[in-house]
Homo-oligomer: A and B are copies of this chain.
């Protein structure tokens, strides 16, 4: 079992590599090697019993993808992306990485497939996003709701999904696209992403630090933990894709809660002192951006196919405490 992870230096890529190193197997088969690629050199995961090669590469450079897949990895995780805010700010860069590089990768796999006379047909797991949806939304977004992204990032992800479905239908590879909900609690320092507060208001108080809440407590959103996201990727790598038919892109499950419910969960898990560290400081810009985001994702198909996420926001908080804080809260 040879694995390739593109975007291996990001939060999800790093955790995925760590998990695979710990497991030593993927889809019940021993891992023989893992290639980790990102625009900056990824770090090898601790304790891998298999060969790990780490390289920095710009996948928007047309020749790079062919080199990455020349070793014919059995499973390719494509997680690399220019994030929403940057893709909006730098139109060309967003299209170069999120669209062109994705197509170069798919095309390089196709060329390898053709060279192997059809014998090479890897599983491709593509990290898409609920940013493929654009307001106005129904109360809950069903599996057949259409994609009308309101950002260039969402547009590029939606195009990636279409390409993945077509390349799979044609038999060049065996692809599955998974739309990740907002990942919460994100580890690390607060960042400037508009969605950052969803994590900040949990992570910072748990660490004894103050956090700012820029929206009202009525705001509703769908979340899954980083651990659940890794679970989605691994399940996507082993799923019997016959069950997907031609519809190979799926919204992942998550728990839909209001910010008020997030805070209530924090109170239950960490007490009043933690909640007291949250300062309400309304920010109109962030409120406007967040108003355009999906509130509830139905994700029935994904659940039926065995994708699982936390069933309460308290569980999401507990996952953070276990995985990032070694069980200790401030």
Report if A224 contacts B (CB, 8 A). Answer: no
Knowing A159-B159, A246-B134 touch, does A166 contact B145 (C-beta < 8 A)? no
Report if A149 contacts B (CB, 8 A). Answer: yes
Using a Cβ–Cβ cut-off of 8 Å, how many residues does chain A contribute to the interface with B?
21
CA distance A326 to B170 in the complex (A): 45
Tell whether, in the assembled complex, residue B91 and residue A148 are in contact, meaning their CB atoms are under 8 Å apart. no
Report if A330 contacts B (CB, 8 A). Answer: no
Tell whether, in the assembled complex, residue B146 and residue A155 are in contact, meaning their CB atoms are under 8 Å apart. no
CA distance A150 to B248 in the complex (A): 12
Q: Which residue of B lies closest to A248 (CB)?
A: B148
Tell whether, in the assembled complex, residue A147 and residue B146 are in contact, meaning their CB atoms are under 8 Å apart. yes
Q: Which residue of B lies closest to A172 (CB)?
A: B91
Of residues 140 to 167 in A, which have CB atoms within 8 Å of B's CB atoms? 144-150, 152, 155, 158-159, 162-163, 165-166
- Most B-side CB within 10 Å, residue of A148, A149, A165, A170: A148
List 7 other contacts, CB 8 Å, given A150-B169, A155-B165.
A144-B145, A147-B162, A148-B246, A148-B247, A152-B166, A155-B166, A159-B159
Within 8 Å CB of A163, what residues of B? 155, 159
Measured CB to CB, the residues of A under 8 A from B are 91, 134, 144-150, 152, 155, 158-159, 162-163, 165-166, 169-170, 246-247
Tell whether, in the assembled complex, residue B150 and residue A246 are in contact, meaning their CB atoms are under 8 Å apart. yes
Within 8 Å CB of A146, what residues of B? 144-147
CA distance A246 to B149 in the complex (A): 9
Tell whether, in the assembled complex, residue B162 and residue A155 are in contact, meaning their CB atoms are under 8 Å apart. yes
Tell whether, in the assembled complex, residue B170 and residue A152 are in contact, meaning their CB atoms are under 8 Å apart. yes
Tell whether, in the assembled complex, residue B165 and residue A148 are in contact, meaning their CB atoms are under 8 Å apart. yes
Tell whether, in the assembled complex, residue B155 and residue A91 are in contact, meaning their CB atoms are under 8 Å apart. no
CA distance A100 to B38 in the complex (A): 26
Distance between A65 CB and nearest chain B CB, rounded to angstroms: 16
Tell whether, in the assembled complex, residue B150 and residue A147 are in contact, meaning their CB atoms are under 8 Å apart. no
| Contact with A162, one of B159, B169, B246, B247 (Cβ below 8 angstroms) | B159
CA distance A203 to B196 in the complex (A): 62
CA distance A170 to B148 in the complex (A): 14
Knowing A158-B162, A162-B155 touch, does A170 contact B91 (C-beta < 8 A)? yes
Tell whether, in the assembled complex, residue B134 and residue A149 are in contact, meaning their CB atoms are under 8 Å apart. no
Q: Which residue of B lies closest to A166 (CB)?
A: B155
Tell whether, in the assembled complex, residue A147 and residue B149 are in contact, meaning their CB atoms are under 8 Å apart. no
9 A-B contact pairs sorted by A residue (CB < 8 Å): A134-B247, A145-B146, A147-B147, A147-B162, A148-B247, A150-B169, A150-B246, A152-B170, A155-B162
